[in-house]
Amino acid sequence: MSILSKHNAVRAAHDELRSAGRDPFSVRFESILSATTGMLDGRQVLLLGTNNYLGLTFDAECVGSAVAATRALGTGTTGSRVANGSYASHSELERRLAQFYGRRHAMVFSTGYQANLGTISALTGREDVILFDADSHASIYDACKLTGAEVIRFRHNDPADLERRLQRLQGRKGDVLVIVEGIYSMLGDRAPLREIADVTHAAGAYLLVDEAHSLGVLGDRGRGQAEAAGINADIIVGTFSKSLGSVGGFCVSDIDGFEVMRLVSRPYMFTASLPPSVVASVTSALDQVVARPELRARVLGNGEQLYRSLVRVGFALGPEPGPIVSVRLPSVEVAVRFWNLVLEAGVYVNLALPPATPTGDPLLRASVSAAHRPEDIEHAAATITAIGRDLGVIPRTGVVAA
Amino acid sequence: MDESFALHASTLDILKEEIATIAKVRDVGADTSISQDLGLDSLAVMNFVMALEDRFDVSIPMDRIVDVETVGDLASVIETLRRDRTTP
């Protein structure tokens, strides 16, 4: 018995998971060789579960600018921007983000998680209402707990359900904030943003879109799903830890009075700011998004290739191809065994288990990168297919008609 | 009893109907525990609550759901929300 006994059920479930093979939540790579290769138990493993969408983690310009910034400005800021002050590079990154999105304002946070906590908690308070998609990331759920607002979920990707809920709020005072994601992290499906923006704005509500998985991936300029759908989100939140290859988060907006957020957003005020190396590599990565649109084409092409290969042999996947390709599996037992066998065969993907998955199905979740070669994707698909056949998840032979 | 009792009774009846359809559980009363007695996991509870929101044309805020343990609690929350809306 200890103060942690309240988590005994979690511990028991974790123990059972570990008894079936490797611990999926504590994989330890001895070394990372490139954006797509790591060393595990002395063997090279193909990385297909790192959200490194543009493959920029080893980009020479990003690494070079981070090294130069560390030499010039030191290893860290050792405090909050409100207390210790900002470096010029923090403000410059904010200027660049605002410019990239064509907005007047931008604010940088120390993680993507905090970007949602800090933005949502600053935008809403007592008397306000938050309506958010039920499949939203944990950071959005947690952000809602930080506000005094009334918090209501709507059915995933269902503009009609959102509209009904907006109508029920008619006549109330206070602001209404609608929160959705561009691409949902578990199944990789995209939000129907045109319809969502229409019902949101018709009701006089504000729309916040989290582009964590779509920045640098979707849209003609790589801004994300809002750009791809041709809509104007009132607030966009995103992360530096996926396509931009580092850590941190941001929000951009044209909202009047934006700067007051720096004085009311506790997850911004009471945490240390990003170190100069991170600010420098993220700024370089943003340059790459602008200068190299072919990276977007490549990551989407790789996602398409993996998706088509797996659908063809009979796997049940998410509703559409994209940078995230998830295989739905019939049981936790099969999923754990599947994940272990895929890793033994030299391919690292993620294992996602309910209740963290939207439909209650356990998932084998892959994320592709612009740095993957077509033969990497082919190898991954062949590995997953062979194991799927051995485990009886898909038919033994042949191609399944779509 | 007064009008609110009548309202409560009918809300409870509709809840029992929905539970019979969704959870396939028939022996349900105001004291039935939603998490213990209906055999629904967290995802199923969310879908169940969303079906009720449609049926009663209300949105139940998340902090109100947290306090709900029994079918009777849920009926009270739904009634309060409906009453608050009709008498602003």
Q: How confident is the model at residue B5 (pLDDT cuts 50, 70, 90)?
A: low
Q: A371 pLDDT exceeds 80? A: yes
Which residue of the set A242, A273, A284, A369 is catalytic?
A242
Tell me, what DSSP letter sits at residue A57? G
- A168: nearest CB among B43, B57, B62: B57
* A:361-400 residues touching chain B, CB 8 A cutoff: none
Identify all chain A residues contacting B43, using CB atoms and an 8 Å cutoff. Answer: 354-355, 359-360
Neighbours of A231 (CB within 10 A): 19
Reading the block at residue A236, the tokens are 């966009």
Residue B19 makes CB contacts below 8 A (sequence gap 6+) with: B25, B28, B32, B38, B48, B71
This model of the complex carries an ipTM of 0.87
Quick check: B43 and A150 CB within 8 A?
no
**What pLDDT, in 10s, does the model give residues A283-320?**
999 999 999 999 999 999 999 999 999 999 999 999 99
| SS3 (DSSP) at B5 | helix
Partner B contacted by A160 (CB < 8 A) = no
Yes or no: say if A248 and A222 are a contact pair by the CB < 8 Å rule.
no
B62, B66, B86, B87: which to substitute to probe chain A, counting the most A Cβ within 10 Å?
B62
Instruction: Answer for the pair A43, A346: CB distance below 8 angstroms, yes or no.
Output: yes
Provide the shortest C-alpha distance from residue B55 to chain A (in Å): 12
Q: Exposed (0-12), middle (13-18) or buried (19+): which is A106, by Cβ within 10 Å?
A: buried
What sign has the CA pseudo-torsion A137, A140, A143, A144? negative
Tell me the C-alpha distance between B32 and A398, whole Å. Answer: 50
- B71's CB contacts (< 8 A; 6+ apart) are B12, B15, B16, B19, B28, B29, B30, B31, B32, B34
Return d(Cα A60, Cα A58) in angstroms, integer. 6
Q: Count residue pairs from A and B with Cβ separation < 8 A.
A: 33
Q: Does residue A359 belong to the interface with chain B, where contact is any CB pair within 8 Å?
A: yes
Domain residue ranges in chain B: 3-86
Q: Is A158 helix (H, G, I), strand (E, B) or coil?
A: coil
pLDDT in tens, A125-153: 999 999 999 999 999 999 999 999 999 99
**Is residue B8 very low, low, confident or very high in pLDDT (cuts 50, 70, 90)?**
low
Question: Considering only the top CATH level, what class is A19-48+293-390?
Answer: alpha beta
- Phi/psi at A109 (5° precision): -115, 165
Residue A226 in this model has a pLDDT that exceeds 80: yes
Q: Distance between alpha carbon A181 and the CA centroid of its chain, in Å?
A: 9
CA atoms within 13 A on the CB side of A23: 9
Q: pTM for the whole thing?
A: 0.95
Cβ-based contacts of B55 with chain A (< 8 Å) = none
Q: Minimal Cα distance from A135: which residue of B?
A: B43
- The answer to whether residues A274 and A119 touch, using CB atoms and an 8 Å cutoff, is no
Is the Cα dihedral A274, A372, A332, B41 positive or negative?
positive
**CA B75 to chain CA centroid, nearest Å:** 4
DSSP reduced 3-state for A55: coil
Q: Given pLDDT bands bounded at 50, 70 and 90, which one contains residue B1?
A: very low
Among A3-17, A55-69, A202-216, which stretch is predicted with the lowest mean pLDDT?
Answer: A3-17
Phi first, then psi, for residue B38 (nearest 5°) are -95, -10
User: What are the start and end residues of each CATH 3.40.640.10 domain in chain A?
Assistant: 58-291
Q: What is the mean pLDDT of residues A335-340?
A: 97
Contact A98, A314 (CB under 8 A): no
Q: What is the DSSP letter of A5?
A: G
CB A339 within 8 A of CB A24: yes
| A153, A155, A164 ranked by CB distance to B62: nearest | A153
Strand order in the sheet with A43-47: A31-32, A37-40, A43-47, A347-348
Q: Which of A161-165, A323-327, B33-37, B76-80 has the lowest mean pLDDT?
A: B33-37
Which of A390 and B27 is assigned the larger pLDDT?
A: A390
CATH number among 3.50.50.60, 3.40.640.10, 3.60.20.10, 3.30.1050.10, domain A58-291:
3.40.640.10
Q: Per the residue annotation, which of A185, A214, A243, A369 is the catalytic one?
A: A185
Specify whether the CB–CB gap between A370 and A53 falls below 8 A: yes
State the pLDDT confidence band at B66, using cuts at 50, 70 and 90.
Answer: confident
pLDDT of A402 > 60? The answer is no
List pLDDT tens digits, range A34-49.
Answer: 999 999 999 999 999 9
Go through chain A and tell me how many residues it has: 402
CATH superfamily of B3-86: ACP-like (1.10.1200.10)
Structural tokens at position A78? 């050792």
Taking only the tens place, the pLDDT of each residue in A230-276 is: 999 999 999 999 999 999 999 999 999 999 999 999 999 999 999 99
Largest distance between two CA atoms of chain A = 64
Which residues touch A204 (CB under 8 Å, ≥6 apart)?
A176
User: Is position A201 annotated as part of the catalytic site?
Assistant: no
With CB atoms and an 8 Å threshold, state whether B61 touches A168: no
Residues of B in contact with A164 (CB under 8 A): 54, 57
Is there a contact between A48 and A366 (Cβ–Cβ < 8 Å)?
A: yes
CA atoms within 13 A on the CB side of A304: 7
